[in-house]
Amino acid sequence: MDTFKRLKDFYLPYKKYFFWSLISLLGVTGMTVVYPIILQMSIDSVTQGEYGLIPWLVLALLVATLIKSITAFINQYYGDLFGISSVYQLRKALYKKLQFLPFKYYDNAKTGDLMSRLTADVEGFRFFLSFGFAQLVNFVLLVTFSLAVMFYYSVPLTLLTMATLPFLCVTVYMFDKRVHPRFRKIRKSLANLNTKVQENVSGVQTVKALSQEDEESKRFDVTNEDYRTKHIDIARVWGKYFPLMETIGNMASVILIGFGGYLTITNSMTAGEFVAFFSLIGFIIGPIMQLGFIMNTFSQSKASGERLLEILDAKERVDEYRSDKEKVRLIGEVKYENVDLAYNTETNHALTNISFEAKKGQTIGLVGATGSGKSSVIQLLTRFYQKTDGEIFIDGKPIEQYSMKQIRSNIGIVLQETFLFSSTIRDNISYGVAGASMDDIIAAAKRADAHEFISELPEGYDTVLGERGLGLSGGQKQRIAIARAILMDPAILIMDDATSAVDMQTEVKIQKAFREVMEGRTTFIIAHRISSVKHADQILVLDQGQIVERGTHDELLENEDGIYRRIYNIQNQDQQYVLQQA
């Protein structure tokens, strides 16, 4: 029960719902046991010629049925309310946890697996709270009430028929011990299945472009077969233990018929008591047989709970997400002193001994080959990752002295991979700026050279985008993302290869608009094109995580053997070739 104890904060606040469910369950169980008693009295009344009791017994049965129906409704309603309310808070906590987990967590996480945990696993946990737990309590109550009546009728017959129960309980325990690890494997296999589907749907353009439909189907078959195999494995366990449990349960019925029949013949018990006893033994054997199903739901919910706890237990930097009432407007002065970065202990440093300074309003260009560490420099400034060594200062204060919210509310960033939400263009541009006016949104779009194409859309700024901005070109999506950054009016502006998806003519327009926007702001431009950084106040050339050259555009061109000059020559030759072909 350790898993349920650790998750108690999510269901204990709703214990009043469980209390009413439990109270009503007493009524359901009590009326269930009343049925055999009324049956016994009816049979004995007829055999003894006491026909006057029959109408009263019929009335008692009707009342018992009515009470059972009402209490069953209350039990079901409050049981569902208990489970639904509990997982509402649990799902809310899980989603909030995912918002604050560091980027390092997502480096190893799979989208499909996380989706499976927040849907299938949460639902599996809810099912036991709403249904399984109530059934477990019902089992205890029904067995207790039934045994009490059976002992009243005949102590010897009760003891003899119950002799099989220890064997049944041991079998149920062995069943749960073997079935639980298998359910955990099934949950993991289902997560892999969801991951495969999610990746295929997200990458459908790549799949079709490379004619990999058949290969993807084969890969899915492997994952699907693994899921099927694990279900067959657990079916074998069910097939082995359920017939055994049924056989043990039937042995109690055999003993009852044999010894109970003897007691009836010798007038040690009445015919009505024998029939009632037979019904009562069913109320014990039946629930014990169902105990396998209850343990099944318990095992599933326990496996689900363990997977949910893995998210809740994931380490987050709570102190860095502290809620600061004081809003800070940064000046934008940035300084790196001997900064190192290693994403994990098993790899070499992504950055080594990075040192530079950016004054307010200056533009810093970052240039280098893919994997040279350009984006890593920025990821430290936005605190997507934690530096391994060295110091980073903003406005003269160590970066750790600011909260995440204080830093990121002052940084406008356009990432290399543009992400847009499945919402309107207006909502996407104003994302991160609560209460932004339409005039401000349009002004930001104009600066990003996006207003013209947005106005041509059927619904304009109210056009609802498809998933990840489906329906727009790469350049259009990037310009919307740029407008989103401009609207924030940040002290620090970061352009992570932001014009890579636009043509040169559009790039010139955006850069012209940006020169106006960048005025008075500290700007970092990560780019492959020299044209994007040549106006920067300082250009840093990175290679294998180190700054190997620094200076202005003209200064760097003077070094004929330098990396910057080599990149410039290659791009200049390519541009001349394109012009000649045109």
CATH fold for domain 2-314: ABC transporter transmembrane region fold (1.20.1560)
**What is the Cα–Cα distance from 532 to 374, expressed in whole angstroms?**
14
**What is the Cα–Cα distance from 332 to 329, expressed in whole angstroms?**
9
- Residue 125 has a CB neighbour count (10 Å cut-off) of 29
Strand partners, 365: 525, 539
Write phi, then psi, for 545 (nearest 5 degrees): 80, 10
Look at residue 438 and give its three-state secondary structure: helix
Question: Spelled out in words, what is the top-level CATH class assigned to the domain 418-489?
Answer: alpha beta
The amino acid at residue 189 is S
Please give the order of strands across the beta sheet that includes 538-543. 411-414, 492-496, 522-526, 363-368, 538-543, 546-551
| pLDDT for residue 317 | 60
Helix axes 15-47, 53-100, angle to 10 degrees: 160
Helical (H) or strand (E) element with 341: strand 334-341
Do the Cβ atoms of 385 and 343 come closer than 8 Å? Answer: yes
**What is the Cα–Cα distance from 530 to 366, expressed in whole angstroms?**
10
- Residue 466 has a CB neighbour count (10 Å cut-off) of 10
The tokens for 423 are 């919402």
Name the DSSP letter for residue 461: G
Residue with tokens 């406005």: 395
Cα–Cα distances (Å) from 83 to 79, 86, 91, 306, in that order, read 6, 5, 12, 17
The tokens for 452 are 């013209």
Strand partners, 543: 546
- Residue 81 has a CB neighbour count (10 Å cut-off) of 17
Residues of each domain in the chain carrying CATH 3.40.50.300: 418-489
Name the DSSP letter for residue 464: B
How many CA atoms lie less than 13 Å away from 62 in the CB half-sphere? 6
Q: What angle do CA 75, 80, 86 make, to 5 degrees?
A: 125
Burial of 211 (0-12, 13-18, 19+ CB in 10 A): exposed
The tokens for 69 are 């129906």
Tens-of-pLDDT digits for all 582 residues of the chain? 678 888 888 888 888 998 898 889 888 888 888 888 888 888 877 777 777 777 888 898 899 889 989 998 998 899 889 988 888 888 888 888 887 787 777 777 777 778 878 887 888 888 888 877 777 788 888 888 888 888 888 888 888 877 877 887 788 778 777 877 787 788 778 878 877 777 777 666 667 665 777 887 888 888 888 888 888 888 888 788 878 877 877 787 788 788 878 888 888 888 888 888 878 887 777 776 676 667 777 777 887 888 888 888 887 664 454 555 567 888 889 999 999 998 776 667 889 999 999 999 899 999 988 888 888 898 899 888 888 899 999 999 999 888 888 888 888 888 777 778 888 889 888 887 878 889 999 988 888 778 888 888 888 888 888 665 556 777 788 788 888 888 888 889 888 876 665 666 666 666 666 666 777 889 999 988 888 888 889 999 999 889 999 999 999 998 888 889 988 888 777 555 444 554
Strands 363-368 and 522-526: parallel
Q: Which residues of 176-198 are buried (b: 16+ CB within 10 A; e: fewer)?
A: beebbebbbbbbbbbbbbbbbeb
- Residue 146 has a CB neighbour count (10 Å cut-off) of 25
The amino acid at residue 172 is V
Strands 522-526 and 492-496: parallel
Q: What angle do CA 393, 399, 400 make, to 5 degrees?
A: 145
Maximum CA extent, the chain: 121
Cα–Cα distances (Å) from 20 to 17, 27, 79, 126, 540, in that order, read 5, 11, 8, 18, 68
Stated pTM of the model: 0.68
**What is the Cα–Cα distance from 549 to 155, expressed in whole angstroms?**
95
